[in-house]
Amino acid sequence: MADSDDILIIGSFVSPYVRKVLACMALKRLAYTIDPITPFYGNDDFTRLSPLRRIPVLVQGDLALSDSSVICAWLDEARPDTHPLLPASPADRARARWLEEFADTRMGDVFIWGLFYQKVVRPLVWKEPGDAARIAATLETDMPMVLDYLEGQLPEDGFLFGDIGLADVAVASFFPNARYAGFEVDAARWPRTAGFVDRCLAHECFAATSRWEAAQLSTNPAGRRAALEQAGAPLSETSYALKEPRQGVMTL
């Protein structure tokens, strides 16, 4: 891998997929600059880098990667000398990949599109109320199903495969967004999940960006770069942002 200082990450600090990549980069001790856009505000050049108009995107020289799982796999292969993101045994590696997939797909659908998007993004970006029926179904049915599954998969103490790694990061990354939408895990009903999430989010790999996430949440999309610059975030010199949002090609 070339000098890590020329890695650009495109994406919002509040995205769980960006959070996942940045936590893995922290574990790898890799530096980066960031263009902290919400995908709806990406311009045509952003679309060329991310055809689905989703984040994060990693750019290093001529290389552009536009999926968090692909990015994390590349990080582990390009920098195998520091903090492996996957466990050693084939069986554990397969299970770690499955938990990452479960997080990216099922948890993404429930935590983000069913809750965070409806309660936070739609009012903020599109100036419209969220889908009340979908929010209710998420809270009453979908979220408990996800948490019941995780309760049977997550450890009572420590992390999934010894030291913290990709599977832990992928699962934990969705819970801040649930909190931003007003949902907290019931520790009496799901004690393993609640404890696991607290341990992961307290780890230095997440703490590394927590102040920038807080700075972003303190303002609206128009004021984001100024707030992050004041907070000391490693911002890129240029941005792929538009002033007005537009929908992507993916259905929600």
- Per-residue pLDDT reduced to its tens digit, 108-133: 999 999 999 999 999 998 899 999 99
pTM given for the model: 0.95
DSSP 35: E
Q: Please tell me which residue, 1 or 166, carries the higher pLDDT value.
A: 166
Partners of 248 in the beta sheet?
A: none
- Residue 218: is its pLDDT beyond 70? yes
- Per-residue pLDDT reduced to its tens digit, 160-200: 999 999 999 999 999 999 999 999 999 999 999 999 999 99
Return the pLDDT at 133: 98
Residue 250: band (very low, low, confident or very high) from pLDDT cuts 50, 70, 90: low
Calculate the alpha carbon distances from 116 to 16, 28, 109, 120 in Å: 11, 29, 10, 5
> How many other CB atoms are found less than 10 A from the CB of residue 168?
28
